[in-house]
C-alpha cells in the first residue's frame, strides 16, 4: 500500500479546518483537532484523521453529535463530579471532564469525574496525558455506550465495546512518560478497519469465526462474519476471561456509574449515550515529588534497560514507542495510506477545503 507523507503542521491545520467547516468555533475546532493530532503524531493512526470522514463528520451532520451542545455539571461533591455532555463531541466533552478531575486534584490530591451523554472521544491516552501537564497522574477510559463490538469467550453476539483504559505517569528523568493506552479487546476495532482499507490480512488471534477458527480477512468483521475477542483471546485458557473482566470494569465506571448507556442497552432507541471516566492524582499529596520522580525513573529504566533473550527485541515500556514516533513524525511528517488520503480529499471537496494531497512532503 502506497503511503504519502503529510507535514505535521499541515495535517493539524486541515483537521482544525474540517471541524470549523462543520460549524465549530475556531477555539473548539482547535481543541478537537488536538485530540486527533495527538494520535496521528504518536502512531495511533486508527484514532486520528482516519475517523474524520467515517465517524465525526457524518455524526455531526446527522445530529447524532450535537453541534450546539452545552455540557453541564450534574453534580460536584468533594473530589467527585458528574458531567452531562448534552450530546457533545466527545473530543470536547472528554477534555472538560479531565479538566474537572485535575481541578479537584489540586485541592484534594485526587479528582474523579464521570461523563454521560457523550460520544466517541478518540484516543484515551490524550486525556491521561493532560494530567502530566500539571505534574499529576492521569487515568482515562470510555465505553461505546449501547454499541458493543466485541464477543468475549465465544459469545454468539457482541457483548462489550473495545473499552480502552489509559494511565499516564511523568517519567522523572526519562525522556518519555509512562503512558499506557490499550483497548480491552485483543486489538482496537479501528485497527481491523485500517487493515481492510489497506488490503492486508490480520494477525492470527485478532478475529475468529463462530466456530472459533482464525479469520485473516478483515472485511469479514465489517460484514458480521467474524468476531473480535477480548484481550487475551477467545478462550479462558488464553486469558480471555481477563479481558472480559477489564471490559466489564470499564462498563461499570463509564456506563453504570456515569449514568450513560452500557452494552446491555443494545437496541435501545434514541441517541447513544457514551460514557467516560477520568481520574487525576497529585503525587505531592503522597510524599515528596522528587522521591516519586526518582523511583519512577528507576522503575522505567529497569524495563527499558533489561537484558532480553536471543531473538527478542529490546524491551520498551508503554510510552517509549509513542515518544519515538512523535519525534520522527514532527520532523518528517505523518504517513497516510492512499485510500485514507483519497477519503480525506473527498471530504475536503465536500466542505470546500483545499485537498491534503497537495501538502505531500
Nearest CA-CA partner of 118 in 139, 97, 100: 97
Q: How far apart are CA 33 and CA 143, in angstroms?
A: 21
Cα-based distances in Å from 23 to 18, 35, 60, 122, 183: 9, 18, 9, 19, 31
In a domain, 226, yes or no: no
Residues 154 and 254 in one domain: yes
Residues 268 and 303 in one domain: yes
Here the cell at position 197 is: 482499507
The whole domain housing 25 covers 1-62+323-361
Residue 173 has pLDDT above 70, yes or no: no
Number of domains in the chain: 2
In a domain, 21, yes or no: yes
| pLDDT at 146 (0 to 100) | 97
Average of pLDDT values for 32-58?
A: 97
Residue 342 has pLDDT above 70, yes or no: yes
Residue 359 has pLDDT above 80, yes or no: no
In a domain, 193, yes or no: no
Residues 347 and 262 in one domain: no
pLDDT digits (tens, 9 = 90+) for 224-261: 899 999 999 888 998 999 999 999 999 999 999 999 99
Residue 210 buriedness (CB in 10 A; 0-12 / 13-18 / 19+): exposed
Q: How far apart are CA 344 and CA 42, in angstroms?
A: 20
Residues 336 and 312 in one domain: no
Q: How far apart are CA 80 and CA 104, in angstroms?
A: 8
Q: What percent of the chain has pLDDT over 70?
A: 99
Q: How far apart are CA 58 and CA 206, in angstroms?
A: 28
Domain of 33, CATH number, reads: 1.10.1530.10
In a domain, 167, yes or no: yes
| pLDDT at 82 (0 to 100) | 98
Which residues are paired to 279 by β-bridges? 112, 139
Domain of 175, CATH number, reads: 3.30.1370.60
This prediction has a pTM of 0.95
Query: What does DSSP say about strands 165-169 and 178-182: parallel, antiparallel, or unpaired?
Result: antiparallel
Q: How far apart are CA 242 and CA 200, in angstroms?
A: 28
Which residues are paired to 302 by β-bridges? none
Q: How far apart are CA 7 and CA 12, in angstroms?
A: 9
| pLDDT at 2 (0 to 100) | 81
Beginning with the edge strand found earlier in the chain, give each strand of the sheet holding 165-169 in spatial order: 72-77, 80-84, 110-118, 274-281, 137-142, 165-169, 178-182
Residue 97 has pLDDT above 70, yes or no: yes
Confidence of residue 29 (pLDDT cuts 50, 70, 90): very high
Residue 174 has pLDDT above 70, yes or no: no
Residues 172 and 277 in one domain: yes
Residues 302 and 344 in one domain: no
Average of pLDDT values for 307-336?
A: 96
CB contact burial 137-162 (16+ within 10 A = b; e otherwise): bbbbbbbbbbebbbbbbebeebbbbb
Average of pLDDT values for 294-309?
A: 92
pLDDT digits (tens, 9 = 90+) for 129-157: 999 999 999 999 999 999 999 999 989 88
* HEC per residue, 63-75: CCCCCCCCCEEEE
Confidence of residue 217 (pLDDT cuts 50, 70, 90): very high
Residues 331 and 254 in one domain: no
In a domain, 198, yes or no: no
Residue 102 CB contacts under 8 Å (≥ 6 apart), including other chains: 111, 130, 131, 134, 136, 280
In a domain, 67, yes or no: no
Residues 137 and 253 in one domain: yes
Residues 96 and 159 in one domain: yes
| pLDDT at 234 (0 to 100) | 87
Residues 93 and 149 in one domain: yes
Residues 80 and 146 in one domain: yes
In a domain, 190, yes or no: no
In a domain, 3, yes or no: yes
The helix/strand/coil state of 223 is coil
| pLDDT at 172 (0 to 100) | 66
Mean pLDDT of the chain: 94
Residue 76 CB contacts under 8 Å (≥ 6 apart), including other chains: 100
Q: Provide the 8-state DSSP code for 230.
A: B
Residues 271 and 360 in one domain: no
Owner of C-alpha cell 533489561: 306
Amino acid at each position: 500500500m502506497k503511503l504519502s507523507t503529510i507535514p505535521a503542521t499541515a495535517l493539524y491545520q486541515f483537521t482544525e479546518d474540517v471541524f470549523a467547516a462543520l460549524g465549530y468555533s475556531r477555539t473548539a475546532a482547535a481543541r478537537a483537532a488536538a485530540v486527533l493530532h495527538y494520535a496521528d503524531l504518536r502512531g495511533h493512526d486508527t484514532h486520528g484523521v482516519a475517523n474524520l470522514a467515517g465517524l465525526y463528520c457524518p455524526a455531526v451532520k446527522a445530529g447524532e453529535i450535537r453541534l450546539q451542545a452545552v455540557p453541564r455539571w450534574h453534580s460536584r461533591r468533594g473530589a467527585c463530579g458528574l458531567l452531562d455532555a448534552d450530546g457533545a463531541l466527545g473530543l470536547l466533552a472528554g477534555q472538560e471532564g479531565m479538566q474537572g478531575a485535575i481541578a479537584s486534584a489540586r485541592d484534594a490530591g485526587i479528582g474523579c469525574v464521570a461523563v454521560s451523554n457523550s460520544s466517541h472521544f478518540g484516543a484515551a491516552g490524550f486525556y491521561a496525558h493532560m494530567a502530566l501537564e500539571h505534574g499529576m497522574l492521569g487515568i482515562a477510559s470510555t465505553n461505546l455506550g449501547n454499541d458493543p463490538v466485541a464477543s468475549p469467550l465465544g459469545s454468539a453476539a457482541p457483548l462489550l465495546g473495545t473499552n480502552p483504559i489509559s494511565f499516564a505517569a511523568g517519567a522523572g528523568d526519562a525522556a518519555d512518560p509512562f503512558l499506557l493506552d490499550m483497548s480491552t479487546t485483543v486489538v482496537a476495532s479501528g485497527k481491523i478497519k485500517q487493515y481492510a482499507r489497506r488490503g492486508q490480512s490480520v494477525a492470527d488471534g485478532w478475529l475468529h469465526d463462530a466456530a472459533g477458527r482464525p479469520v485473516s480477512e478483515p472485511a469479514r468483521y465489517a460484514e458480521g462474519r467474524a468476531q473480535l475477542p477480548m484481550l487475551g483471546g477467545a478462550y479462558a485458557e488464553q486469558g480471555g476471561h481477563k479481558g472480559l473482566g477489564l471490559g466489564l470494569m470499564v462498563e461499570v465506571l463509564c456506563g453504570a456509574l456515569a449514568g450513560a448507556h452500557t452494552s446491555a442497552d443494545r437496541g435501545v432507541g434514541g441517541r447513544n449515550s457514551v460514557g467516560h471516566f477520568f481520574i487525576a492524582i497529585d503525587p505531592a499529596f503522597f510524599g515528596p515529588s522528587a522521591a516519586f520522580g526518582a523511583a519512577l525513573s528507576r522503575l522505567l529504566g529497569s524495563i527499558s534497560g533489561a537484558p532480553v533473550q536471543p531473538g527478542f527485541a529490546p524491551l520498551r515500556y508503554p510510552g517509549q514507542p509513542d515518544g519515538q514516533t512523535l519525534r520522527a513524525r514532527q520532523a518528517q511528517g505523518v504517513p497516510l495510506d492512499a485510500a485514507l488520503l483519497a477519503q480525506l480529499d473527498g471530504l475536503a471537496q465536500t466542505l470546500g477545503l483545499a485537498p491534503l494531497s497537495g501538502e505531500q512532503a
